[in-house]
Amino acid sequence: MLNFGADIPFVSHLGFRLHRMAGGESELHYEALSEHLNSFGVTHGGATMALLDVALATAARSDTPDFGVVTIEMKTSFMQPARGPLVAKGRLIHRTASIAFVEGTVFDAEGRVCSQATGTFKYVRRQSAQADGQRVISTD
């Protein structure tokens, strides 16, 4: 298992595992805990969207380890319930000096497409200033 290259407490809490982050691509694995399920007993859409957000962001920064990214916008489509262990794959479609356009897909344990997303991300320098003891990330 690989390291995301940054401490992301929410990602650690959900249990996302990074399996690939190179060449504009990413692959994450995730098995939802009982508290991550919805009332139908399948992975909650919010957890699935978080998985897609991280897969897209990881693909965007796969070739720029000195930069982080922040999500500008993301559109998600849900095709079918997400059951069992999930695999999310992200792919960088196009980038400029400061913006990345990315797409990603979540597959269920049977390899079926559960959801898909496209997103736009802004590259930001990892070096962040301190303000009142808090990290400040410039999105200018």
- Are 58 and 41 in contact, with CB atoms under 8 Å apart? no
* Domain boundary assignment for the chain: 9-136
Model confidence at 63, pLDDT cuts 50, 70, 90, reads confident
Q: What angle do CA 97, 125, 136 make, to 5 degrees?
A: 135
pLDDT tens-digit map of 14-24: 999 999 999 99
Q: How far apart are CA 98 and CA 95, in angstroms?
A: 8
pLDDT at position 21 is 95
Query: What's the fold here for domain 9-136?
Result: Thiol Ester Dehydrase; Chain A (3.10.129)
CB 38 within 8 Å of CB 103:
no
Rounded CA separation 48/34 (Å): 14
With a cut of 50, say whether residue 140 has pLDDT above it: no
Tens digit of each residue's pLDDT (9 = 90 or more) over 71-122: 999 999 999 999 989 999 999 999 999 999 999 999 999 999 999 999 999 9
